A and B are shown apart, each in its own frame.
Chain A
Amino acid sequence: SAVISQKPSRDICQRGTSLTIQCQVDSQVTMMFWYRQQPGQSLTLIATANQGSEATYESGFVIDKFPISRPNLTFSTLTVSNMSPEDSSIYLCSAATETQYFGPGTRLLVL
């Protein structure tokens, strides 16, 4: 199994600003994933982050809005840029070992 932590756990931000979410895994993993969960909805995959290469984004998500870093095999960051109220969601980090595990999420409210 893998234990995943995220920082911050929650934040309230003003529109037009950016927030960087950190994700730490307690073991080395090749693939990490970032998801968004809008209020009352299921999880939607934002991107896949492979160490040493650029992240691969899903349809509807772009690097300029959600830049991702993956500097090593245990850490990744997701930045939500130029935020608007529509970005208010839970952002979840995930890592794949034999199965896929999730962090506790970052609850973001944009005013």
Chain B
Amino acid sequence: DAKTTQPTSMDCAEGRAANLPCNHSTISGNEYVYWYRQIHSQGPQYIIHGLKNNETNEMASLIITEDRKSSTLILPHATLRDTAVYYCIVRQTSRNTPLVFGKGTRLSVIA
């Protein structure tokens, strides 16, 4: 079973920051927080992951609370192409452990 809780859906105005929350209160010390997104009719796309420090890459920023029980994915300037389902997943670092998907958050970016 998925170990995360996300809102079912969110809207964001084009050009504004999209802040997607995720609760993972039962996360273990050796589990990372991963974010993926799935644009309609495509395979899931990796966005970012982190353990306990905040992370930033060319796509997004990941803010993890100090107790690691929740995190927020930030898309700094959302565009219409960011409309997708966003999945927050906790996973051990071992590449032998597959991702387990929850229901995710459906983000709609509105012009």
Residues of A at the B interface (CB closer than 8 Å) are: 4, 30-31, 33, 35, 42-45, 48, 92, 94, 96-105, 107
Contact = CB atoms under 8 A, between A and B. Distances in A.
Nearest to B103: A42
Contacts, number: 50
Given A30-B95, A31-B98, A35-B101, 18 more contacts: A30-B96, A33-B98, A42-B87, A42-B101, A42-B102, A45-B98, A48-B98, A94-B99, A96-B96, A96-B98, A97-B95, A98-B95, A99-B49, A100-B98, A100-B99, A102-B43, A103-B43, A104-B43
Mostly helix, strand, loop or mixed at chain A's interface? Answer: strand
9 contacts: A35-B101, A44-B101, A45-B100, A92-B43, A96-B95, A99-B49, A100-B46, A103-B43, A105-B41
A28 B96 CA distance: 14
Contact of B44 (A30, A43, A44, A48): A43
Nearest to B93: A98
Nearest to A50: B96
Interface in B29-51: 34, 41-46, 49
Nearest to B99: A100
Contacts of A4: 43
Interface string B61-100: 0000000000000000000000000010000000110111
A35 B89 CA distance: 15
Interface residues of B, number: 18
Nearest to A31: B96
Given A30-B96, A98-B95, A43 B101 contact: yes
A5 to B, nearest CB: 10
Ranked 5 nearest A-B pairs via Cβ = A102-B43, A96-B95, A43-B101, A42-B101, A33-B98
B95 A100 contact: yes
Given A42-B103, A102-B44, A105-B42, A94 B34 contact: no
